[in-house]
Structure 1
Amino acid sequence: MENYRDLLKKYIETHDEKSLYQAEQFSKLSLKQNISPVEIIHVHNQATKELFPNLPKDFHYAMKFLLETMMSYGLAYQEFQSLREKQLELKSEISVAANMQQTLLSTVKPTIDGLDVGVISVPANQMNGDYYHFIKGEHGGKLGVAIADVIGKGIPAALAMSMIKYSMDSLPENSMSPQAILKNLNRVVERNVDPSMFITMFYGSYDMETETFSYSSAGHEPGFYYNTEKGMFREIETKGLVLGVDDKSTYEQFELKVEKGDKIVLLTDGVTECRHGERFIEREEVFQVIQQYDYLPAQEAVEQVYKHFERLQDFHLRDDFTLIMLSKNV
């Protein structure tokens, strides 16, 4: 108190800049000793009263008002700092979880003679609510491809996707049809996932010997089939209830005959529900964008399609974006 009063008196009398420097050192020392700004204002008020006992009452009322204001500010600032620390801690935990998810859900893009494969999956936030997986047959005669989307976001969605991945790993995919795989996964989801969370999924199997693509869908976004002979896209016919609604659900299976140059495009609704301003794009626009790049290898094509829609949305994804392209090239 005495030191502060002497510093204040010296500055008022001399206007010496050195006194301001000493005041700065006083502040640093107060910080080390956990003295709050409110306490410093209180000391300043007391010192002023001693140095100028004849000041008008209004001045002392003004100082009291400042003291009360700073008390409220101090409490609010402490709460803000506490929330900020918790936010940083949570952000760090989510970052670790996102890295773990990327590791747990990783899949290798297959290399298969006669089939060009391209895939891109970009999360809108740190955690990805989309999932894709490739299963290559033991003798290279078949390729299984799964694509799924959790109705929900964040860590719960990531946990649900991890469960789907490990459930798929436990199934004998090579000996099971797409409809049977979805039926089994549906029971797993219905028993283990919160009733408020559902999962859409598409599973297809390409047979290199018969040149057919067999597939089933659990309420997933319809994909596209490009017929090179006709030079046009069409939607892949799909039916089926989303996973997790009814454990007795069954899934219809369909087949496509795939000719040389034909393409199968699988996606999530983060592609078809892109916005241009406030307007949702039409599915025909998606056809047109994909067709613009169909001359490129599959991987380059899906990357260019993603960049197109990224620019369209001013580089701000509103939903997870996953796009897979299978192109028969022999």
Structure 2
Amino acid sequence: MDFKAILESSYREILNRYLEDSSETALYQGQMFSRKSIEQFISPEEIIGIHCKVLHEIFPDMPKEVLSSFDFLIQFMMDYGLAYQEHQSLRDKQLEIKSEIQIAASIQETLLETPIPQNEDLDIGAISIPAKQMNGDYHRFIQDGNSIGVAIADVIGKGIPAAMCMSMIKYAMDSLPKPRKYPQQVLENLNRVVENNVDPSMFITMFYGVYDTTEQTFTYASAGHEQGFYYQYRDDSFEDLVTKGLVLGVEQNSTYEHYEKKVEPGDIIVLVSDGVTESRTEEGFIERSVITNLIRQYMHMTAQEMVEEIYRYIEKIQNFQIRDDFTLIILKRKV
């Protein structure tokens, strides 16, 4: 007796037993039969063919239409099996990619981690939330003697390519010669790095400022980055941190202008990525006045509490769906 005949005989015995008493034992035998069939590489459609043949032997008077329906089922199972295998393969690949992205996001978070400097005259708060798993925003604090450098950058784009650019900016910043007290020189050096190493279709905006804790001055420059805010405590007024400068990576020999402000007690410097100022609700983009109103509302808090409260508010008005990477930094001179 060949293998196929043995298979049919075994299946006939199991099916007969199940039709007679519908017992758990018969079901268990069916499961064992299924496992052995898989080991022998018996396809689902072959099993259906055996079932059809055995059923016809048990019920010889069965209508032809019923038997014909099994032919339809065999064809259906063949197509279904191919589609199911393709679906499983794609699902496995998606899970693999998702796992790799999660690992990459965790590595990026560790690489870009930057401690917030502590100073007796200056209160600093920072928050950076990616819209997706990988962050296309970058911020960094550099404490060097009596100065605190603060960088904030944004890749024009999202996802893994943007995250890779951010990692490059981080290492380029770390490689710059000290001291890094002149913002325009920092941007000019970084611009050459970006222009030589980043795809021409990608650009990076960046703001770099240096707070002198002895002179209480803030010197800064910008490469096409979103304008920040400056709050003057004395006049209880806001103004934009207006700057000029091309985004990084456009022209190798770009030069940048630097600006300087004398920071009085109670003054607040607010740096943002466009994920803050271009937050959207159903009515459209929020006005910059929304940000200044929030700063005024929370300025009695610490700088860190301020950035967290502002983020929670903007997240809420967007139905908890941040559409772009969100980075907000506040430097607040203590009164």
Q: 1:251 to 1:109 in 2, by over 3 A?
A: same
In structure 2, the partner of 1:171 is 176
1:125 is displaced (CA, Å) by 1.6
Residue 64 of structure 1: aligned partner: 71
Hey, what does 1:128 align to over in structure 2?
Answer: 135
Shift, 1:289, TM fit: 1.7
Identity %: 57
**Change in CA separation of 1:79 and 1:186 when aligned onto 2, cut-off 3 Å:** same
Of 215, 229, 236 in structure 2, the residue corresponding to residue 224 of structure 1 is: 229
- Residues of 1 paired with 2:22 and 2:125: CA distance? 73
Q: 1:266 aligns with which of 266, 271, 295?
A: 271
Q: CA deviation at 1:8?
A: 2.0
The aligned residue for residue 86 of structure 1 is: 93
d(CA) in 2 for partners of 1:215 and 1:300? 25
- Counterpart of 1:236 in structure 2 is 241
Q: Could you tell me which amino acid in structure 2 is paired with residue 118 of structure 1? A: G
Using a 3 Å threshold, how does the CA distance of structure 1 residues 70 and 257 change in structure 2: closer, same or farther?
A: same
Deviation at 1:197, TM superposition (A): 1.0
Superposition deviation, residue 24 in structure 1: 3.8
Structure 2 distance, partners of 1:254, 1:66, is 77
Are residues 1:250 and 2:245 paired?
no
TM-score (norm 2): 0.92
C-alpha displacement at 1:35, in angstroms? 3.8
Does 2:285 match 1:280? yes
Cα deviation for residue 13 of structure 1 reads: 4.4
In structure 1, what is the Cα distance between the partners aligned to 2:52 and 2:173? 71
Deviation, 1:217, is 0.8
SS of equivalent residue, structure 2 residue 179: helix
Pick aligned residue for 2:15 from 2, 8, 19 = 8
The aligned residue for residue 321 of structure 2 is 316
Residues 29, 277 of structure 1: alpha-carbon distance in 2 compared, 3 angstrom cutoff: farther
Alignment of 1:105-254 (within 5 A): 105-137=112-144, 139=145, 141-254=146-259
The 3 A distance-change label for structure 1 pair 226 and 32 is farther
Q: What's the CA shift for 1:324? A: 0.4
TM-score (norm 1): 0.93
Q: Unaligned stretches of 5+ in structure 2?
A: 1-7
Structure 1 stretch displaced more, 22-31 or 232-241: 22-31
| Per-residue deviation, residues 247-306 of structure 1 (Å, max 9, x unmatched) | 121112111221110000101111112222352211111111222111101011111111
In the aligned structure 1, how far is the partner of 2:141 from the partner of 2:220?
Answer: 14
CA contact (8 A) 1:173 1:181 kept: no
Q: Contact 1:179–1:253 at 8 Å: present in 2 too?
A: yes
- Partner letter of residue 260 of structure 2? E
Kept in 2: contact 1:38–1:74 (CA 8 A): no
Are the counterparts in 1 of residues 137 and 152 from structure 2 also a CA contact under 8 Å?
yes
How many angstroms does 1:19 deviate by? 3.2
* Counterpart Cα distance in 2 of 1:241 and 1:151: 13
Residue 26 of structure 1: how far off its partner (Å):
3.1
Displacement after TM superposition at 1:10 (Å): 3.3
1:3-82 aligned within 5 A: 3-16=10-23, 18-31=25-38, 33-82=40-89
Using a 3 Å threshold, how does the CA distance of structure 1 residues 14 and 93 change in structure 2: closer, same or farther? closer
Q: What is the alpha-carbon distance in structure 2 between the residues aligned to residue 315 and residue 254 of structure 1?
A: 36
Once the two structures are TM-superposed, the CA of residue 168 in structure 1 deviates from its matched residue by 1.0
* Counterpart secondary structure, 1:326: strand
Alpha-carbon offset, residue 162 of structure 1: 1.2
CA contact (8 A) 2:147 2:181 kept: no
Residue 226 of structure 1 aligns with an amino acid whose one-letter code is: Y
